[in-house]
């Protein structure tokens, strides 16, 4: 039976999210829906589980000292209430860290969140100052620190390894959103004890599946996936198209959920982090946290289907 997003919301997701109790790995199928448990990604280096759809916050910008943040507050509240926990940000995203720190405190959910941010300095001392600033702005623990778009990677990664050993954060990683950096990303994956790598990947942009994702599997590295909607281009490709019959096989009730579940269905520990500042988009994206995921055969069928549309 197909479970729609409306069905999910009607079957007690609010109560299910409350059952998370500050940490998410204890959530069971009975707490949420009869169609299955909350979809979780397992971080290979530790075995820790995290809900398998995160939230990118590049648009979480505004004046944190004024009451003009209502849409952002609602987006964050919806994401949290429906089971989301991983937030990806950066001091490069304007004042996103300040805004997140304010909103998480206002909503009293800061300790529930798995926080990922970034460092992007060529000089080690400047990088350390940048990271200390992130701790202050975000107002709590940072689970994952990433070198942003490989800037200063050879300088900052040794510092990240040391800070991880000191317990400053649990995980370290690197990021890119450009295919032109994939070969360089691969080199760092082989040379450093990374817990995460963040790359661009989607149903329309599959380059990462050629080498990065298989290497992540071999090396035991989790994968944050940015641009899972192909910078929004996927929605243009399918505009006017009804959902195919196979969407019901993965309990997807929207194109957004189809695109996210394609990413989540890869055998690497792939965790999409779609960026949004709109509550209704956060609600729809959260639908991918529930229901079935595509197997290899269906993922190949999805690829053929999209390729035939182009």
Residue 27 has pLDDT above 70, yes or no: no
Q: Which of the four pLDDT bands, split at 50, 70 and 90, describes residue 36?
A: low
Beta bridge pairs of residue 86: 114
* Structural domain count of the chain: 1
Q: Please tell me the pTM assigned to this model.
A: 0.88
Which pLDDT score, from 0 to 100, does residue 66 have? 75
Residues 205-234: tens digit of each pLDDT: 999 999 999 999 999 999 999 999 998 899
For position 226, which CATH number holds? 3.20.20.100
Q: Which domain holds residue 103?
A: 5-309
Q: Give the residue-averaged pLDDT of 271-275.
A: 98
Q: Which of the four pLDDT bands, split at 50, 70 and 90, describes residue 248?
A: very high
Nearest to 8 by CA among 257, 286, 245: 286
Which pLDDT score, from 0 to 100, does residue 68 have? 81
Q: Give the residue-averaged pLDDT of 9-22.
A: 36
Residues 63-98: tens digit of each pLDDT: 877 778 999 999 999 999 999 999 999 999 999 999
């Amino acid at each position: 039976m197909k479970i729609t997003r409306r069905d999910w919301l009607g079957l007690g997701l609010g109560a299910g999210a409350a059952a998370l109790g500050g940490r998410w790995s204890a959530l069971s199928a009975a707490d949420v829906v009869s169609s299955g448990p909350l979809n979780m990604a397992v971080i290979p280096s530790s075995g820790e589980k995290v809900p398998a759809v995160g939230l990118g916050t590049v648009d979480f910008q505004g004046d944190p000292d004024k009451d003009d943040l209502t849409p952002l507050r609602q987006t964050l509240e919806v994401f949290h209430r429906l089971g989301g926990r991983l937030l990806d940000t950066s001091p490069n995203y304007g004042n996103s860290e300040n805004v997140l720190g304010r909103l998480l405190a206002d909503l009293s959910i800061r300790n529930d969140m798995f926080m990922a941010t970034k460092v992007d300095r060529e000089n080690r001392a400047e990088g350390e100052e940048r990271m200390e600033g992130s701790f202050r702005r975000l107002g709590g623990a940072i689970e994952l620190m990433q070198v942003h778009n490989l800037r200063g990677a050879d300088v900052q990664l040794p510092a990240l390894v040391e800070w991880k050993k000191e317990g400053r954060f649990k995980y370290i990683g690197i990021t890119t959103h450009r295919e032109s950096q994939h070969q360089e990303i691969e080199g760092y994956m082989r040379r450093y004890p990374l817990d995460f790598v963040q790359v661009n990947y989607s149903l329309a942009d599959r380059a990462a599946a050629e080498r990065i994702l298989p290497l992540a599997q071999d090396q035991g590295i989790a994968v944050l996936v940015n641009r899972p909607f192909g910078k929004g281009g996927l929605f243009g490709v399918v505009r006017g198209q009804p959902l195919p019959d196979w969407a019901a096989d993965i309990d997807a009730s929207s194109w957004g959920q189809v695109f996210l579940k394609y990413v989540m269905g890869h055998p690497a520990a792939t965790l999409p982090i779609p960026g949004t500042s709109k509550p209704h988009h956060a609600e729809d994206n959260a639908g991918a946290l529930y229901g079935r995921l595509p197997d290899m055969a269906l993922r190949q069928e999805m690829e053929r289907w999209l390729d035939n549309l182009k």
